[in-house]
Amino acid sequence: MNAPISNAPIRPQVQPRHDWTLEEIEALFDLPFTELVFQAAEVHRAWFDPTEVQLSQLLSVKTGGCPENCGYCSQSQHFKTSTVASKLMEAEAVIAAAAEAKAGGAQRFCMGAAWRDLKDRDLPRVAAMISGVKALGLETCATLGMLTPDQARALKAAGLDYYNHNLDTGPDYYDKVVTTRTYQDRLDTLAAVRDAGVSTCCGGIVGMGETRRDRAGLLQALATLPAHPDSLPINDLMPIPGTPLGDSDAVDGLEFVRMIAVARIVCPKAVVRLSAGREHMSRELQALCFLAGANSMFVGGKLLTTANPDKDTDAALMADLGLRPMTMA
């Protein structure tokens, strides 16, 4: 007699690796599209509930005037854009914004400051923001530029859960995007964050003129870190007039889905965030990204200085796809 057919889902035990080669990752990109998405979906289901999406909201707590020359950024003082610089917000205003975000459904609140590095004089105010947001019951995240080990420990003591510090692109393309900070500078900050016991949020941007090999190089850099990023944001470039990348051509939608899928495979335990660029993505493209392993997104109508779909649009998308907010630990 034939064995009964089980209806239980297949749960492949895909263990994280830290020895991915560039050639292996390029081979994943080269898979037939449907096969790549299928493999990524299997990996996703091995570690996560595929119907759950983690919801984050991002606030610029200090805007513009940054001395870095990142070619995609409207906040760099090197470029003439429409962004108006502002000073560091008061902690009370940030906490109030976080409370509003939580009421709107956000689970993690991210605070971003346009700095090259965090100055010790600003640390007490930033720590007060983090402590206040944490007290609301939200996960806390910050992106403040480069950190020293002592600063990372101080942010941890204040209640910081995640620190965002993107690698932006692969190491071979990096100097085509930014020259005021080295790749090693970024890796050093990530090491300081890990050593302090803070979870890392680290990913990059596609659509800056890089090749598929450069994208594979970014994912190899992430997948060979001593610890994979806990959150892995993939941003689709939002071209900003006045920046060097303001006239960049859009990346093909299916190529963007491939980036999501390969990120899911090589960093299987990471929460892969569909980040900047959703404003110009169709509902169908976003659905493919979730199918390919994305399980986080930013909510709220603004990301630092660029647009993001509004709450009602996202609520409708999640309802139509049968998605729900992620169950938080």
Active site amino acids: 66, 70, 73, 110, 141, 201, 273
- Helix pair angle (33-47, 253-266), 10° resolution: 40
State how far the Cα of 145 lies from the Cα of 29, in Å rounded to an integer.
Answer: 31
159 and 140 Cβ atoms separated by less than 8 Å:
yes
Owner of token pair 């209640």? 159
CA dihedral 178, 180, 182, 183 (to 10 degrees): -30
139 and 271 Cβ atoms separated by less than 8 Å:
no
- Helix pair angle (311-321, 283-291), 10° resolution: 50
Local structure of 236: helix, strand or coil: strand
Query: Which residues are CB-neighbours of 193 under 8 A, at least 6 positions away?
Result: 147, 152, 163, 165, 200
State how far the Cα of 251 lies from the Cα of 249, in Å rounded to an integer.
Answer: 7
State how far the Cα of 263 lies from the Cα of 220, in Å rounded to an integer.
Answer: 9
- Counted residue by residue, the chain has a size of 329
